[in-house]
Amino acid sequence: MAVIKRIDHVAVVVDDMEKSLSFWRDALGIRLHELRDVPAEKSQVAFLPLAGAEVELVQPTSDDSGIAKYLARRGAGMHHICLEVDDIDAMLAHLKTKNVRLINEAPRLAVDGKKYAFIHPESTGGVLVELYQI
């Protein structure tokens, strides 16, 4: 069976990246590793590494993106928690046998080559969960 290795990141949806960075980076002192545009997701992401994981700040760059719709519906705040797994295909197959509702039935491929898939909050007690295979 696939194994969850660690928490990879916690993603926070923001409506103002600079204002959010003034808290996470400037007030808390978490180093900003990278600020990256992600055209495929119509978003900008700030990566702030912390003790083997990351805080990711995600701001929409287009009003028609999924993140923009989420922000309009729910406001700024925690978006999802991401868990690193050793075998995402096996984990998704296992979750299907447990009748867990998946947003992605098969892993998607990120720009950096990592595989990822999301689990619907309906099956997790209200938390959007992302699985990641590095």
- The CATH architecture one would assign to domain 4-133 is Roll (3.10)
| pLDDT digit string, tens, across residues 26-44 | 999 999 999 999 998 899 9
pLDDT at 32: 98
pLDDT at 44: 97
pLDDT for residue 1 is more than 90 = no
| pLDDT digit string, tens, across residues 72-129 | 999 999 999 999 999 999 999 999 999 999 999 999 998 788 999 999 999 999 999 9
pLDDT at 111: 79
Q: Are 46 and 17 in contact (CB under 8 A)?
A: yes
